[in-house]
Amino acid sequence: MDLLPKDSLEIIRNADRIVFLTGAGISNESGIPTFRGEGGLWKNFRAEDLATTSAFQKDPNLVWEWYDWRRGICQNAKPNAGHLTIASWQKKSKSVSLITQNVDGLHPRAGSHSLIELHGNIFKARCTKCSEKFHIIDDGLDKPGLKYCKLCESLLRPDIVWFGEEYNQTLLTKSWEYCKQSQVVFVIGTSANVSVPANLAQTAVRNGAIGIEINPEETNLTASMKHHFDGKSGEILPKIWNEVFPNEPIK
Ligand code: OAD
């Protein structure tokens, strides 16, 4: 049975800009836990104890321990069919933008070269004093525990946007532009609880894009979407690809 009606397929095929906005759910099938819901990371931990600047000032060891543990999970995970479908779409067309809330690095590993990582990347660290950035593995900082700057020897912190912190303005401006210009926005695997990404999706729809949500649960965004697919992105996205590009393999 077809997932998408003809009119939506036509809009997707003719779109000048398509935006994929992804959240933790897309990586769930790769074995990375989501933040909220059953088995979610925030069920076992309080966000304020781990993902805020004050938590880091109070107990940097605890915060690094949590990120070292999560980075290990991400390192051992592999991109799934959802990540690979989006990467293929981007290889096929330059007008496909990817904005992710995920810090797990699975989109780039799937081959998505042009992407906006709104919340940072778990494989990167930043100096609390001179702001120099490091790659935790490539720069040999992957020993668990506190890490120090190779230039000024001050404490490093995860290069993540924590609760209450500002987003990178350049990335945010680009994201707004992409969303305003888009004719189609795919909203995949996010509970839409964080206001900036949720507003990005709403902006796309308010500016005329059709919204396509893939999520086993309904969210605050569901009502404004043209289509909601109740299922796993690793299963639904390849099916949508096959309807949009019949007989073209996902590469
Ligand atoms: P959440 O954990 O809030 O939501 C994950 C969503 O994915 C839920 O709505 C699930 O129903 C859905 N989901 C689960 N499995 C899925 C699957 N196989 N396919 C599709 N959807 C699935 O994660 P986010 O919305 O990404 O911030 O959370 C946003 C931010 O909150 C995160 O980036 C993180 C967190 O605090 C930072 O780390 C800075």
Lowest pLDDT segment from 45-59, 72-86, 139-153: 45-59
Q: Is the dihedral of CA 163, 43, 32, 90 positive or negative?
A: negative
Ligand 1 pocket member 161 (CB < 6 A): yes
Ligand 1 pocket member 158 (CB < 6 A): no
Based on the fold, state whether residues 187 and 251 are members of the same structural domain: yes
For 224-229, what is the mean pLDDT?
Answer: 98
Asked if residue 1 has pLDDT above 80, the reply is: no
Based on the fold, state whether residues 62 and 144 are members of the same structural domain: yes
pLDDT of residue 46: 84
Based on the fold, state whether residues 127 and 176 are members of the same structural domain: no
Q: How many domains does the chain have?
A: 2
Among 131, 160, 189, the domain boundary falls at 160
Ligand 1 pocket member 33 (CB < 6 A): no
For 42-55, what is the mean pLDDT?
Answer: 86
Would you say 74 is a known binding-site residue? no
Range of the domain at 61: 33-76+120-160
The per-residue pLDDT for range 98-132, each reduced to its tens digit, is: 999 999 999 999 999 889 999 999 999 999 999 99
Based on the fold, state whether residues 209 and 177 are members of the same structural domain: yes
Catalytic residue status for 119: yes
Catalytic option among 107, 119, 135, 227: 119
111: left (phi over 0), alpha (psi -120 to 50) or beta: left
**pTM listed for this prediction:** 0.96
Based on the fold, state whether residues 236 and 212 are members of the same structural domain: yes
CA of 70 to the centre of ligand 1 (A): 15
Based on the fold, state whether residues 72 and 192 are members of the same structural domain: no
Based on the fold, state whether residues 192 and 245 are members of the same structural domain: yes
pLDDT of residue 44: 78
CA of 17 to the centre of ligand 1 (A): 24
CA of 153 to the centre of ligand 1 (A): 35
Contacts of 61 (CB under 8 A, 6+ apart): 145, 146
Residue with CA closest to ligand 1 atom 37: 119
Give the pLDDT band (50/70/90) at residue 86.
Answer: very high
**H helix and E strand count, the chain:** 10, 9
Give the pLDDT band (50/70/90) at residue 66.
Answer: very high
Based on the fold, state whether residues 196 and 226 are members of the same structural domain: yes
Contacts of 239 (CB under 8 A, 6+ apart): 3
Ligand 1 pocket member 80 (CB < 6 A): no
Among 145, 160, 175, the domain boundary falls at 160
